Amino acid sequence: MDWSRQGGAVVSPARLIDGRAARVVLVANRTNPKGAMIVLADSATAQNAFPLSSALDSIHPNDAVDILCMQERIFGPTALEAPDVP
């Protein structure tokens, strides 16, 4: 995935299993149900934004790991090294 910072959020474009384009938006750690959101790219309305936990069936395992590890490294309480995100 191709992560970048936008204000306090960390975002990346993503491709869902069914081929739809989306954006992943990370704003808080994993204890916050809305800390990682999937936003469908065709219409960025509230109806097209889902918490990661309810969109897992649409996401490839590689991407799920990438998203959750990035969330932990940026916002998590564990001693993981934060990556350089432009």
Residues that bind another protein (CB under 8 A): 30, 52-53, 56-57, 59-62, 64-66, 68-69, 72-73, 76, 78-81, 83
Residue number, 47 or 78, with CB nearest to another protein: 78
- Name beta bridge partners: 10: 5, 26
Asked whether 22 and 16 are in contact (CB, 8 A), the reply is yes
- Name beta bridge partners: 26: 10, 36
Residue number, 42 or 81, with CB nearest to another protein: 81
Minimum gap (Å) between residue 49 Cβ and another protein? 18
Minimum gap (Å) between residue 59 Cβ and another protein? 5
- State the SS3 of 21-67: EEEEEECCCCCCCCCEEEEECCCCCHHHEEEHHHCHHHCCHHHHHHH
Residue number, 31 or 43, with CB nearest to another protein: 31
